[in-house]
Amino acid sequence: MGEKLLKSLSKQSIKHEFYTPVPRGYKVGKTKYIITTGTVISGLGKGIFGSSLAKLLKFKGLNVTQVKMEGYFNIDSGTLNPYRHGEVFVLDDGMECDMDLGSYERYLDQNLNKDNFTTSGQIFTKVLEKERSGGYLGRDVQFIPHVTGEIKSILRQLALKTKADVIVVEVGGTVGDLENSHYLEAMRQLMYEEGKENVCFATLTYVITPASLGEQKSKAAQLGIGKLIELGIQPDIIGCRADAPVTEKVREKISIYSNVPVGNVISLHNVKNIYSIPLMLKEEKTDQVVIDLLGLGERIDKKKERSELMKWRNYVKKVENSKKTITIGITGKYTEIRDSYASITESLNHAGAENGVNVNIKWIETSKIEKGKKDINEELKDVAGIIVPGGFGSRGVEGKIMCVEYARKNKRPYLGLCLGFQMAVLEFARNVCKIKNANSTEFDAKTTEPVIDILPEQKKIEGLGGNMRLGGRYIDIKKGTKAYALYGNQTKIRERFRHRYECNPKYIKKLEKKGLVFSGKAPKVPIMQILELLDHPFFMASQFHPEFTSRPMKPNPLFNNFIKSCLP
């Protein structure tokens, strides 16, 4: 039925209203789709829920991938302020995307690419380019069928490229938002075209507990789900977010109002460890519900599932049974918004689990230190290690440099990330090499000592066509260094970058002469990527972002050894 329907719908002409581009070789039913949506409020954790479900399906031996559909008109997330949208996550191919892609990669333990992330800006650009080139055969271009057709085409192209058994699709935002309405309509059409046996809808809702009443109320959840049903989408699974376990009474109410079996209305209450959520879903048999709905039973490898589940359970126990706690200071400018540093905090959790400790984070606002509103010795006296993360702009920079100096002089473990690499270079240049005016042209375009700079010859060598280095790149590691040892004696590694400024090659010899070791550099060009100090328990910094490649059971070596050095 689905195959014949698709063939008829894909025939575009002036006589027909259909427009559903179908890639050559695409077969209905080979790839199944799980569509995740959110109601009532944003920030429910659709990414974590979808990733947890995807993880369970991958345990079963299924080929799974995920895709995020964002409603904003930006082409990517690169220009978004972290205060507004959280961390910008960078994929290996250089795509700057939503932080949920970080969750996808961490749970699935696989690299994703630009095909796993789309925005309304990307969709509309494709539609307009196709219209300008006459691709719609003179038709008046509309949301239905042309915009929705492009959205469905993206999913089917991804299915062909990945050969996925299952694609978990996250529709960003909340049901009822104007900006994601075209995605929801496209998903309704997808179910119509592919057949109900090939598309499953899972929606998250929010069960409130008003302080004045002291009991859970489901009316907002009912109304939110009702809005979804009005759009022609009948959910198969409902995840109820709440502070405490959702009562059976509330689940029954939601079940009645949504036509969803009560067994498929599950409690997704707050937990301390997000990596326990796959096990919560397993206990609720949510993965089996999906298998039954999508007819995936014959594709399951039960032996692999048992083995993978055991590994994951052991990891979760390791995290939850850690009895020791250490405090790490993160000095930054976005400390009020924790999502701005999501990958860093997760990387610290990965490394903490590996080393048998809980990591408590102390957020340090460096602008207050540099203005003298807070004493640096008081701020840092109780931290076992210090991280200066990435960022752009000059606010709080001098405070960051003060923190680097504190770590160097007091032999406190230090890890610099991207901007933290540049801060370490400037601190060393000023206080050890006595280059008093050492600065970055990012903060002072007229500085007489541009130790950190954008160099034209670097841009020419890299051939970027711009001044931002993005995505995965290879790094040459110097033998005999700490970097060489902690990366398993490898002379070449690959990590991800997102930065504009570099250590000026003119100053490299001066810095090295005084004891700064550049243990990692870009192949064939004088672009420094890792630095370290030999006479220090742990003082390392990377121009790249190691947090983007850290995984739950595979902590990035820089984070792992940083935490190890922080242990009492």
Would you list the DSSP string of 434-470? --TTEEETTT-TT-SEEEEE--HHHHHHHT-SSS-EE
How confident is the model over 356-379, as a mean pLDDT?
A: 90
Of 100, 108, 59, 105, nearest to 77 by C-alpha is 100
Answer for the pair 495, 546: CB distance below 8 angstroms, yes or no: yes
Neighbours of 285 (CB within 10 A): 14
Structure-derived torsion over alpha carbons of residues 243, 249, 255, 261, reported in degrees to the nearest 10: 100
Identify the residue with better confidence: 278 or 19. Answer: 278
**Residue 112: per-residue pLDDT:** 97
pLDDT digits (tens, 9 = 90+) for 44-86: 999 999 999 999 999 999 999 999 999 999 888 888 876 677 7
pLDDT exceeds 50 at position 465? no
- Residue 466's Cβ-count burial label (10 Å; 0-12, 13-18, 19+) is exposed
**Residue 22: per-residue pLDDT:** 87
pLDDT exceeds 90 at position 213? no
Least confident of 109-118, 125-134, 422-431: 125-134
Instruction: For residue 418, indicate whether it is catalytic.
Output: yes
Identify the CATH homologous superfamily for domain 322-566: Class I glutamine amidotransferase (GATase) domain (3.40.50.880)
**Residue 8: per-residue pLDDT:** 65
Q: With bands split at pLDDT 50, 70 and 90, how would you rate the model's confidence at 11?
A: low
Pairing of strands 166-171, 64-70: parallel
Q: Which two tokens stand for residue 151?
A: 């959205």
Instruction: For residue 545, indicate whether it is catalytic.
Output: yes
pLDDT digits (tens, 9 = 90+) for 280-325: 999 999 999 999 999 999 999 999 999 999 999 999 999 988 889 9
Catalytic residue among 418, 433, 503, 566: 418
Greatest Cα-to-Cα distance within the chain, rounded to the nearest angstrom = 77
Cβ-proximal residues to 450 (8 Å cutoff; 6+ apart), any chain: 439, 440, 441, 504
Cβ-proximal residues to 247 (8 Å cutoff; 6+ apart), any chain: 216
- Percent of the chain at pLDDT exceeding 90: 81
- Percent of the chain at pLDDT exceeding 70: 93
**Residue 337: per-residue pLDDT:** 57
Q: With bands split at pLDDT 50, 70 and 90, how would you rate the model's confidence at 464?
A: very low
Of 115, 129, 124, 113, nearest to 74 by C-alpha is 124
Looking at domain 2-315, its CATH architecture is 3-Layer(aba) Sandwich (3.40)
Answer for the pair 203, 219: CB distance below 8 angstroms, yes or no: no
Q: Which two tokens stand for residue 226?
A: 């009702």
Structure-derived torsion over alpha carbons of residues 105, 365, 563, 78, reported in degrees to the nearest 10: 20
Domain ranges of the chain: 2-315, 322-566
- The mean predicted confidence, pLDDT, of the chain is 92
pLDDT exceeds 90 at position 458? no
pLDDT exceeds 80 at position 275? yes
pTM of the model: 0.93
- Residue 311's Cβ-count burial label (10 Å; 0-12, 13-18, 19+) is exposed
How confident is the model over 437-450, as a mean pLDDT?
A: 94
How confident is the model over 200-224, as a mean pLDDT?
A: 94
How confident is the model over 417-434, as a mean pLDDT?
A: 97
pLDDT exceeds 60 at position 95? yes
How confident is the model over 525-542, as a mean pLDDT?
A: 96
How confident is the model over 407-418, as a mean pLDDT?
A: 97
pLDDT digits (tens, 9 = 90+) for 157-189: 999 999 999 999 999 999 999 999 999 999 999
pLDDT digits (tens, 9 = 90+) for 77-87: 888 876 677 78
**Residue 372: per-residue pLDDT:** 83
How confident is the model over 123-149, as a mean pLDDT?
A: 91
**Residue 177: per-residue pLDDT:** 92
Q: With bands split at pLDDT 50, 70 and 90, how would you rate the model's confidence at 14?
A: low
pLDDT exceeds 60 at position 335? no
Of 473, 480, 479, 482, nearest to 531 by C-alpha is 482
Answer for the pair 193, 19: CB distance below 8 angstroms, yes or no: no
pLDDT digits (tens, 9 = 90+) for 256-269: 999 999 999 999 99
Same fold, 2-315 and 322-566: yes
